[in-house]
């Protein structure tokens, strides 16, 4: 895709990967509106000259309001990124994990669907545009400490595939960003996490390819994405299961 002349709504762009890509799209020449709940950051972004819109992807009214505001200011909007996400460890021996599971599905899966539903009629009417969904390497290679997070991201992958097929021939393309561990609020405690600027640079290079790749796969995520094909899946899941020893009440090692 041409990253120099887009009008982008970066939903979930107030921190981490979304904020990094918002700045990079803008630096490349595109117009960017950032969405999120953090009004302090939204105000800072407005002061920097970016667009900013409050949105809570778990709330259908909030999504509709944000859509109306963005399209009023930018009737030429052509790119929507569904970056909003949340996650965390869950102990499946303790049913108290359910509250977090519910939040994760609400934000990562249903939030993605709400935002796409809100903008699809506009993009269909334009007959052109790009939807960028955000899954995770964990959606392809489980990290057993984060079961619902992985399940939500595997669901985003499956949804993206179906969305692309349903939008074929409409002029709307669907690209799925598949991040590995990246040093942000979500990925920050992982010592192997990629630096945010290095990740952002690699992502923009991949997004700028023509045609836009169906999956935006940086080098560091290839081991997750292709583990099953490469025959490394079982060994890697066993290795990643060692993190379960960090849960309270589990034997170490």
Asked if 115 touches ligand NAP (CB under 6 A), the answer is: no
Closer to ligand NAP by CB, 14 or 160: give it.
14
CB of 127 to ligand NAP, least distance (A): 28
DSSP code, position 6: -
Q: Which of residues 189-208 bind ligand NAP (CB under 6 A)?
A: 193
Asked if 218 touches ligand NAP (CB under 6 A), the answer is: no
Of residues 14, 52, 39, 230, the one with CA closest to residue 141: 230
Q: Report d(CA 41, CA 24) in Å as an integer.
A: 17
Judged by CB under 6 A, the stretch of 1-9, 23-31, 54-62, 65-73 that binds ligand NAP is: 54-62
Q: For residue 149, indicate whether it is catalytic.
A: yes
- Residue 251, exposed/middle/buried by CB under 10 A (0-12, 13-18, 19+)? exposed
Site map 141..180 versus ligand NAP, x via CB under 6 A? --------------------------------------x-
CB of 229 to ligand NAP, least distance (A): 20
Judged by CB under 6 A, the stretch of 15-23, 94-102, 210-218, 232-240 that binds ligand NAP is: 15-23
Give 155's contacts (C-beta < 8 A, 6+ positions apart): 108, 109, 139
Asked if 65 touches ligand NAP (CB under 6 A), the answer is: no
Give per-residue burial for 136-158: e unless 16+ CB within 10 Å, then b.
Answer: bbbbbbbbbbbbbbbbbbbbbbe
E strands, the chain, where?
7-11, 31-36, 51-54, 79-82, 129-134, 172-177, 215-216
Q: Do residues 174 and 133 touch, judged by C-beta distance below 8 A?
A: yes
Asked if 32 touches ligand NAP (CB under 6 A), the answer is: no
Residues of this chain that bind ligand NAP (CB under 6 A):
12-18, 36-38, 55-58, 83-87, 107, 134, 136, 179, 181-182, 184-187, 193
Which residues are known to be catalytic? 149
């Amino acid at each position: 895709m041409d990253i120099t002349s887009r009008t982008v709504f970066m939903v979930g762009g107030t921190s981490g990967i979304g904020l990094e890509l918002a700045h990079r799209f803008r630096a490349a020449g595109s117009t960017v509106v950032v969405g999120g709940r953090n009004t302090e950051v939204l105000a800072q972004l407005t002061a920097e000259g970016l667009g900013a819109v409050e949105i809570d992807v778990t709330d259908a009214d909030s999504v509709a309001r944000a859509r109306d505001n963005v399209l009023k200011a930018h009737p030429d909007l052509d790119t929507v990124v569904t970056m909003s996400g949340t996650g965390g460890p869950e102990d499946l021996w303790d049913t108290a994990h359910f509250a977090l599971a519910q939040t994760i599905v609400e934000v990562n899966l249903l939030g993605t669907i709400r935002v796409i539903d809100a903008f699809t009629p506009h993009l269909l009417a334009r007959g052109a545009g790009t939807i960028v969904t955000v899954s995770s390497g964990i959606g392809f290679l489980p990290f057993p400490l984060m079961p619902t997070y992985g399940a939500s991201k595997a669901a985003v992958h499956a949804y993206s595939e179906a969305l692309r097929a349903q939008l074929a021939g409409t002029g709307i393309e669907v690209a799925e960003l598949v991040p590995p561990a990246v040093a942000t609020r979500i990925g920050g405690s992982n010592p192997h996490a990629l630096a945010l600027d290095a990740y952002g640079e690699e992502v923009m290079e991949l997004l700028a390819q023509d045609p836009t790749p169906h999956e935006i796969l940086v080098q560091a995520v290839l081991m997750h994405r292709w583990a099953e094909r490469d025959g490394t899946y079982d060994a890697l899941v066993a290795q990643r299961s060692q993190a379960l020893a960090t849960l309270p009440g589990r034997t170490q090692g």
